[in-house]
């Protein structure tokens, strides 16, 4: 993150005030009237306490699936509960999932950024691009820049203007194109970034209200965000070349040519450092592959899977032979009682519906580490079909415990993100001469950590709010009532998904921080939609679309004024309305296209991320059938 304050754009009081400008002025005024996000969490904490005291005396009929008693709100203002709040305050803060995840990931990014490795890669990608492909390459570079915190805003956007100007094209079109890729396509990326574990950890806080044994993989949206790049680049390319740039042809470039930034070429040492840095990534990935390849690798789970977060069969007391994925090696507990024998061959697994009758086949023909996740609570019985001596044996088994940890590789995503940036950053830094000693490396890490002061304040209040929201039972109550409302409305699943996207897009107009918004929304909507049968991975993906697409039209986005300043270097009377008018087509087109892509994903049952072999349902018919009382 940059340490320098974002400069304010120059204002022209005599400029005409169009409808877009007036709308954005009103939006800016309303957003500025809102308290700071950290204070919003504090207000949420106080309101949660007050509501808990009021609702604790009311009896409710909503019952969590698998429970026998209705939910009950706990008064958090009793002396006993308030004492517990104070004694656990520090623990709630340092155990808040996003805290360590963000800090560790950013330490790695800091090394790669301060060494100059990331900047060198971005500039090199633009250097060798032919003029005809300048637009899509700029969008690609803008998307890749998401891996390096704020590098896209302070580096790629101004470079976009420089590159277009040097190519004889309108520089504002280059700025708009880069801004669209950096901010409008914020959640589109084929490279893992710090945003992935950050959002998944916040999603986890909502999941924990329903099922603490359910683990959200940090890479749960990676495939979807990677595929999204194709559509963001395609739509952005079309809009830039055929809509935005033609519209700008009548806009005169009257900026001071001496003030127009220059594209600085890389030195030979920079290019050498980048080459060795990229080589170090290849070597590191090869080493990881060699480590993970053996069947008994320490990165695999006990059944040899690299991507399983949990192991379904183990929950039922069945151990599968690692050398033969269909052969039962041993049985314990319920499986032994149900008559399953070592040596049986697994043929099929059928899911039990709400009444306990096995109807839906969730596995047939090829087990290969698939995880039974249509009912993530794993409390219902499943019907196993085994082959024994030429006959089929059917056994109904109830799981005896919650999910067991899966592959260690899936537990080390954040450390791997740290290493994938640290290693090339160190190599580039020392080869290019940017790093003279280890003190330069530590200085780079420290400078990045200095920018995280506000984040720590935000996390402190967010952690306390979420803990109170969870412990009071208000989270359960809202989730169950919301789930009932969704079901009773009869709204089709696609409409619910679209509404989640539009909600995130609307809130984003007033609150710019992606993590602050999701910290507020996840504890409410993740469990609510889980109870209604929607997977948390899908809810998170929907949020990411809404959060990204309206970034480029809201003045509440911290870097929006900076984009105006970049524009004023070329066109002096550029203002908020100028930038907003350029970016509005991107925002609308990205929102419609991205939403459509997600709905197609849902309809086809394509995996949103890793593990790809989970085979979960985005909208679980089993969960919907079970209902919420």
pLDDT over threshold 70, residue 446: yes
Mean pLDDT value of segment 90-95: 89
Contact, 119 vs 444, CB < 8 A? no
Cα–Cα distance for residue pair 424/281, rounded to 1 Å: 6
Among 115-119, 252-256, 589-593, name the most confident range: 589-593
Query: Which of 42-56, 163-177, 511-525 is predicted least confidently?
Result: 511-525
Contact, 14 vs 575, CB < 8 A? no
Q: What is the pLDDT of residue 295?
A: 79
**Judgement on whether residues 450 and 396 belong to the same structural domain of the protein:** no
Q: Is residue 287 part of a domain?
A: no
Q: Is residue 10 part of a domain?
A: no
Q: Is residue 298 part of a domain?
A: no
**Judgement on whether residues 509 and 610 belong to the same structural domain of the protein:** yes
Tokens of 247: 């519209």
Q: Is residue 294 part of a domain?
A: no
Q: Is residue 264 part of a domain?
A: yes
Cα–Cα distance for residue pair 71/470, rounded to 1 Å: 12
Domain that holds residue 252: 19-271+412-626
Last residue of a domain, one of 387, 405, 423: 405
Mean pLDDT value of segment 164-183: 90
Q: In 44-184, which ranges are E strands?
A: none
Helix, strand, coil fractions of the chain, as percent rounded to 5: 60, 5, 35
374-402 per-position pLDDT tens digit: 333 344 566 677 777 777 777 666 655 44
Closest to 463 in 3D by CA, of 517, 418, 543, 519: 519
Q: What is the pLDDT of residue 482?
A: 79
Q: What is the pLDDT of residue 89?
A: 93
Q: Is residue 193 part of a domain?
A: yes
- Residue 397: CATH number of its domain: 2.30.42.10
- 628 pLDDT tier (thresholds 50, 70, 90): very low
Last residue of a domain, one of 405, 439, 472: 405
Mean pLDDT value of segment 571-585: 83
Tokens of 11: 């204002």
Q: What is the pLDDT of residue 159?
A: 81
Cα–Cα distance for residue pair 360/364, rounded to 1 Å: 11
Average model confidence (pLDDT) for the chain?
77
Q: Which residue's structure tokens are 């204002």?
A: 11
Among 323-337, 424-438, 509-523, 561-575, name the most confident range: 424-438
Alpha helices in 452-568 (DSSP H): 453-472, 474-489, 493-508, 514-531, 536-549, 560-568
- 543 pLDDT tier (thresholds 50, 70, 90): very high
Mean pLDDT value of segment 65-89: 86
**Judgement on whether residues 123 and 203 belong to the same structural domain of the protein:** yes
Half-sphere exposure of 601 (CA within 13 A, CB side): 24
**Judgement on whether residues 431 and 388 belong to the same structural domain of the protein:** no
**Judgement on whether residues 418 and 397 belong to the same structural domain of the protein:** no
Q: Is residue 498 part of a domain?
A: yes
**Judgement on whether residues 333 and 378 belong to the same structural domain of the protein:** yes
pTM over 0.85: no
Q: Is residue 305 part of a domain?
A: no
pLDDT over threshold 60, residue 540: yes
Stated as kind and residue range, the H or E segment containing 202 is helix 195-207
Q: What is the pLDDT of residue 232?
A: 95
Q: What is the pLDDT of residue 32?
A: 59
Q: What is the pLDDT of residue 377?
A: 38
Among 296-305, 307-316, 356-365, 492-501, name the most confident range: 492-501
Number of domains in the chain: 2
Q: Look at the chain and count its residues.
A: 629
Go through 577-588 and write b for each residue having 16 or more CB atoms within 10 A of its CB, e for each that does not. Answer: bbbbbbbebbbe
Q: What is the pLDDT of residue 278?
A: 93
**Judgement on whether residues 382 and 468 belong to the same structural domain of the protein:** no
Closest to 102 in 3D by CA, of 518, 423, 436: 518
**Judgement on whether residues 470 and 421 belong to the same structural domain of the protein:** yes
Tokens of 449: 């950590």
**Judgement on whether residues 156 and 95 belong to the same structural domain of the protein:** yes
Last residue of a domain, one of 405, 424, 445: 405
**Judgement on whether residues 380 and 424 belong to the same structural domain of the protein:** no
């Amino acid at each position: 993150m940059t340490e320098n304050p974002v400069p304010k754009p120059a204002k022209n009081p005599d400029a005409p005030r169009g409808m877009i400008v007036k709308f954005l002025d009103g939006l800016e005024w309303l957003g500025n009237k809102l308290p700071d996000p950290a204070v919003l969490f504090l207000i949420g904490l106080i309101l949660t306490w007050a509501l808990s005291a009021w609702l604790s005396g009311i009896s409710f009929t909503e019952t969590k699936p698998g429970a026998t008693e209705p939910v009950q709100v706990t008064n958090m203002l009793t002396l006993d509960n308030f004492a517990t709040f104070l004694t656990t305050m520090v623990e709630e803060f340092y155990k808040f999932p996003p805290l360590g995840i963000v800090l560790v990931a950013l330490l790695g990014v800091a090394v790669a950024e301060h060494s100059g490795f990331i900047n060198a890669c971005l500039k090199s990608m633009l250097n060798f691009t032919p003029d005809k492909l300048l637009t899509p390459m700029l969008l690609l570079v803008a998307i890749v820049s998401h891996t390096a915190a704020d590098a896209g805003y302070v580096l790629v956007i101004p470079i976009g203007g420089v590159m277009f100007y040097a190519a004889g094209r309108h520089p504002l079109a280059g700025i708009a194109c880069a801004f669209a890729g950096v901010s409008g396509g914020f959640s589109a990326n084929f490279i893992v970034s710090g945003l992935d574990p950050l959002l998944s950890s916040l999603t986890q806080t909502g999941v924990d209200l329903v099922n603490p044994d359910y683990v959200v993989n940090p890479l749960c949206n990676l495939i979807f965000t990677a595929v999204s790049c194709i559509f963001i680049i395609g739509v952005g390319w079309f809009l830039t070349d055929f809509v935005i740039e033609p519209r700008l042809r009548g806009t005169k470039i009257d900026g001071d040519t001496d003030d127009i930034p220059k594209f600085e070429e890389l030195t030979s040492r920079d290019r050498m450092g980048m080459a060795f840095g990229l080589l170090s990534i290849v070597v590191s990935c090869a080493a990881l592959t060699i480590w993970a390849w053996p069947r008994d690798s320490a990165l695999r789970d006990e059944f040899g899977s690299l991507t399983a977060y949990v192991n379904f069969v183990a929950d039922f007391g069945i151990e599968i032979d690692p050398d033969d994925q269909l052969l039962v090696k041993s049985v314990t507990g319920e499986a032994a009682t149900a008559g399953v024998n070592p040596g049986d061959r697994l043929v099929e697994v059928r899911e039990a519906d709400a009444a306990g009758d096995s109807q839906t086949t969730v596995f047939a023909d090829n087990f290969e580490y698939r995880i039974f996740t249509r009912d993530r609570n794993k409390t219902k019985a499943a019907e196993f079909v085994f082959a024994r001596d030429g006959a089929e044996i059917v056994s109904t088994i109830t799981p005896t415990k919650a999910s067991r940890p899966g592959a260690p590789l899936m537990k080390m995503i954040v450390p791997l993100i740290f290493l994938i940036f640290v290693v090339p950053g160190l190599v580039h830094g020392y080869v290019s001469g940017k790093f003279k000693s280890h003190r330069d490396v530590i200085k780079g890490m420290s400078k990045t950590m200095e920018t995280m002061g506000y984040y720590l304040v935000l996390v402190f209040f967010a952690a306390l709010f979420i803990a109170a929201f969870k412990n009071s039972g208000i989270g359960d109550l809202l989730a169950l009532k919301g789930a009932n409302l969704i079901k009773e409305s009869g709204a089709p699943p696609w409409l619910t998904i679209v509404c989640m996207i539009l909600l995130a897009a609307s809130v984003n107009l007033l609150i710019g921080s992606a993590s602050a918004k999701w910290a507020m929304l996840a504890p409410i909507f993740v469990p609510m939609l889980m109870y209604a049968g929607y997977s948390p991975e899908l809810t998170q993906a929907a949020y990411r679309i809404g959060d990204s697409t309206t970034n480029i039209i809201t003045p509440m986005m911290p870097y929006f004024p900076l984009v105006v300043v970049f524009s004023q270097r070329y066109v002096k009377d550029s203002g908020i309305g100028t930038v907003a008018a350029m970016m509005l087509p991107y925002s609308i087109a990205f929102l419609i296209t991205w939403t459509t892509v997600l709905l197609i994903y849902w309809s086809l049952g394509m995996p949103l991320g890793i593990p790809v072999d989970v085979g979960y349902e985005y909208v679980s018919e089993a969960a919907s059938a079970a209902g919420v009382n």
